A and B are shown apart, each in its own frame.
Chain A
């Protein structure tokens, strides 16, 4: 029952840990990584679903990025598989609505519906993999700072930053409460509604109490409702390698989108 809470704690810690490693990808400016990630998503998702072979080539991005970030591709793949049930469920009716034959393999006719089902699932998996690899090499705080430097409004960036700060505390608090309840449940899988309401209500009251305490503590240190910009010495300078990374990957992704390499070669 507490699996998701443990998983959240693990993911937050693991993300910050991998972002702190001195890997080639971690040393690239977070803004460059975010822009390339957006280009990857836009170019990949704008491909028509029938072009499965072209879509497959976009896997080059997460595979290469995972290698450069020192993360096992197996881990990235495992995390991306969670998307399959939701995406496949919505794309499954394609099999029944798109019955035109697309190709034949040893006498077995494969219809357009099967191709688009595979393509949509692959789009979902690749999109998640791109996000997972970039966030793991940048960290949540690094991403937040990059968003701020890319022009995301100050209040929203502060809000994300503050929420991130207190997620760990709140998840730990929820875990303690849930463990206390679980020890009295005698292996029941989920909480009855009344008990859940008491637990969540208690968590909410604790959160509000903590929010007020945090507000007082921040006010005593001069907080006036806005997060200060990071001092210049704490921000990474844009270097030549960041420009190279940006130009090389954006052009590669655009070429993958425009030219049909798979059909040209084979």
Chain B
């Protein structure tokens, strides 16, 4: 479900980026405060544990399992699993760092689309589905069946919300022409099925961890966040969310107007989007020269442009190949 750079506009990327950065800022504050309330031994473990569990999620995402009854295979996202061990904010920070590394190593999701990916995958699972659904359904002495049901529900909700957010971001960007309603329906249906698979897998791993290390589950080893921090966090999030909406809306308005800045200015001054060439000797000679030297003067402008760009790229490629850096042997 990684969003690609190709499908988003810079304005949507900026809006999602602002939301992601503000959430990361809150997560950092919450984790720092949480670490300060822990006893010294556990405080020292928190950040290395987050790093190692991030590496675990990275490795676990590469091991596929058979989805029962479908013949296809899938892998976990790991948000609910991480949140059950580290707590929602620390899990969010861990999953965000995994997403950043995936974008850098595997080019899974783009650099500009990182904000979208952090919101769609890390925030939806760790900050929405886990605290609202998983934590509400699972009490400290919950049965295995209850944990499984909570895992499936939370995973389905996390993936469906993520898919809906991805559809909205794609539609707002206006790059793909697919109508949002249809795209949303496809994405939600597919991710409902994937969510059930993810939920079953998460429940299975949680059952094993609960059997061998019950002490580490459901944030038993971490103290609860103080409500004042949560309130402040909510305030900061709302502030940044509003800022993101305003930035997104204003950028979209600029992006939706057809002429670019130069064309707009010319249109305002000359009442026409293009300027007519002055009828002087110099301009006539220049136009004649251009007609004679242009490689494809009679061709359709767009096609000529495409072929011309291809020729330039080929030229650059040949020059770059000739002058490329070659290590000394």
With contact pairs A59-B313, A135-B105, A191-B63 given, residues A159 and B50 touching in the complex (Cβ less than 8 Å): yes
Taking a contact as CB atoms under 8 Å apart, the answer to whether B63 and A158 are in contact is: no
With contact pairs A262-B308, A263-B305 given, residues A45 and B8 touching in the complex (Cβ less than 8 Å): yes
Taking a contact as CB atoms under 8 Å apart, the answer to whether A120 and B176 are in contact is: yes
For the complex, is B24 an interface residue (Cβ under 8 Å from A)? yes
Interface flags, A67-102, vs B, CB<8A=1, else 0: 111100100000110110011001101100110001
Taking a contact as CB atoms under 8 Å apart, the answer to whether B51 and A163 are in contact is: yes
For the complex, is B55 an interface residue (Cβ under 8 Å from A)? yes
Interface flags, B54-88, vs A, CB<8A=1, else 0: 11101110111111100001001000010001000
Q: B208 contacts which chain A residues (CB < 8 A)?
A: 197-198, 201-202, 204-205
A162–B58 alpha-carbon span in the complex (Å) = 13
Taking a contact as CB atoms under 8 Å apart, the answer to whether B107 and A153 are in contact is: no
Could you tell me which residues of chain B, from 76 to 109, have a CB within 8 Å of some CB in chain A?
76, 81, 85, 93-94, 96-98, 100-101, 103-107
Q: Which of B119-127, B155-163, B197-205, B228-236 contacts A (4 or more CB under 8 A)?
A: B197-205
For the complex, is A218 an interface residue (Cβ under 8 Å from B)? yes
Taking a contact as CB atoms under 8 Å apart, the answer to whether B295 and A127 are in contact is: no
Q: B56 contacts which chain A residues (CB < 8 A)?
A: 170, 203-204, 207
Taking a contact as CB atoms under 8 Å apart, the answer to whether A53 and B308 are in contact is: yes
Q: A223 contacts which chain B residues (CB < 8 A)?
A: 44, 48
Interface flags, A6-44, vs B, CB<8A=1, else 0: 001001100100000101110000000000011001100
With contact pairs A102-B302, A156-B97, A163-B97 given, residues A196 and B325 touching in the complex (Cβ less than 8 Å): no
Interface flags, A90-121, vs B, CB<8A=1, else 0: 11011001100011110000000101100011
Could you tell me which residues of chain B, from 203 to 260, have a CB within 8 Å of some CB in chain A?
204-205, 207-209, 212-213, 216, 255, 260
Please tell me which one of the listed residues A42, A200, A210 contacts residue B76 in the complex, with CB atoms under 8 A apart: A200
Q: Which of B25-33, B268-276, B279-287 contacts A (4 or more CB under 8 A)?
A: B25-33
Taking a contact as CB atoms under 8 Å apart, the answer to whether B308 and A215 are in contact is: no
With contact pairs A15-B105, A41-B112 given, residues A124 and B5 touching in the complex (Cβ less than 8 Å): yes
Taking a contact as CB atoms under 8 Å apart, the answer to whether A67 and B213 are in contact is: no
A-B CB pair tally, cutoff 8 Å:
358
Please tell me which one of the listed residues A49, A53, A163, A198 contacts residue B309 in the complex, with CB atoms under 8 A apart: A53
Q: A11 contacts which chain B residues (CB < 8 A)?
A: 105-106
Taking a contact as CB atoms under 8 Å apart, the answer to whether A87 and B316 are in contact is: no
A265–B176 alpha-carbon span in the complex (Å) = 29
Interface size for A (C-beta < 8 A) is 121
With contact pairs A131-B103, A197-B201, A208-B216 given, residues A87 and B7 touching in the complex (Cβ less than 8 Å): yes
For the complex, is B178 an interface residue (Cβ under 8 Å from A)? yes
With contact pairs A128-B107, A153-B24, A156-B97 given, residues A87 and B4 touching in the complex (Cβ less than 8 Å): yes
Residue of A nearest to B310 (CB): A56
Q: A21 contacts which chain B residues (CB < 8 A)?
A: 327
Taking a contact as CB atoms under 8 Å apart, the answer to whether A190 and B177 are in contact is: no
Q: B39 contacts which chain A residues (CB < 8 A)?
A: none
Prevailing SS type, chain A contact patch: helix
Could you tell me which residues of chain B, from 15 to 36, have a CB within 8 Å of some CB in chain A?
24-25, 28, 31-32, 35
Taking a contact as CB atoms under 8 Å apart, the answer to whether B54 and A1 are in contact is: no
For the complex, is A150 an interface residue (Cβ under 8 Å from B)? no
Taking a contact as CB atoms under 8 Å apart, the answer to whether B205 and A197 are in contact is: yes
Residue of B nearest to A124 (CB): B6
Taking a contact as CB atoms under 8 Å apart, the answer to whether B94 and A163 are in contact is: yes
Could you tell me which residues of chain B, from 163 to 184, have a CB within 8 Å of some CB in chain A?
170, 175-179, 183
Taking a contact as CB atoms under 8 Å apart, the answer to whether B177 and A94 are in contact is: yes
Interface size class of B (residues with CB under 8 A): 35 or more
Whole-angstrom distance from the CB of A3 to the nearest CB of chain B?
9
Q: B58 contacts which chain A residues (CB < 8 A)?
A: 8, 163, 167, 170-171
Q: A91 contacts which chain B residues (CB < 8 A)?
A: 6-7, 175-176
With contact pairs A5-B59, A120-B6, A265-B294 given, residues A63 and B97 touching in the complex (Cβ less than 8 Å): no
Most buried by B among A115, A120, A166: A166
For the complex, is A155 an interface residue (Cβ under 8 Å from B)? yes
Could you tell me which residues of chain A, from 49 to 70, have a CB within 8 Å of some CB in chain B?
49, 52-57, 59-60, 63-64, 66-70
A residues in contact (CB < 8 Å) with B: 1, 4-5, 8, 11-12, 15, 21, 23-25, 37-38, 41-42, 45-46, 49, 52-57, 59-60, 63-64, 66-70, 73, 79-80, 82-83, 86-87, 90-91, 93-94, 97-98, 102-105, 113, 115-116, 120-121, 123-125, 127-128, 131-132, 135, 140, 143, 153, 155-156, 158-167, 169-171, 173-174, 178, 189-194, 196-205, 207-208, 210-212, 214-216, 218-219, 223-226, 258, 260-263, 265-266
B residues in contact (CB < 8 Å) with A: 2, 4-10, 13, 24-25, 28, 31-32, 35, 41, 43-56, 58-60, 62-68, 73, 76, 81, 85, 93-94, 96-98, 100-101, 103-107, 110-112, 170, 175-179, 183, 200-201, 204-205, 207-209, 212-213, 216, 255, 260, 262, 294-296, 299-310, 312-313, 316-317, 320-321, 323-327
- Residue contacts A-B, CB under 8 angstroms, 15 given: A23-B327, A60-B312, A104-B303, A120-B6, A125-B6, A127-B4, A131-B103, A196-B204, A200-B201, A204-B81, A205-B212, A208-B85, A215-B48, A219-B41, A265-B312
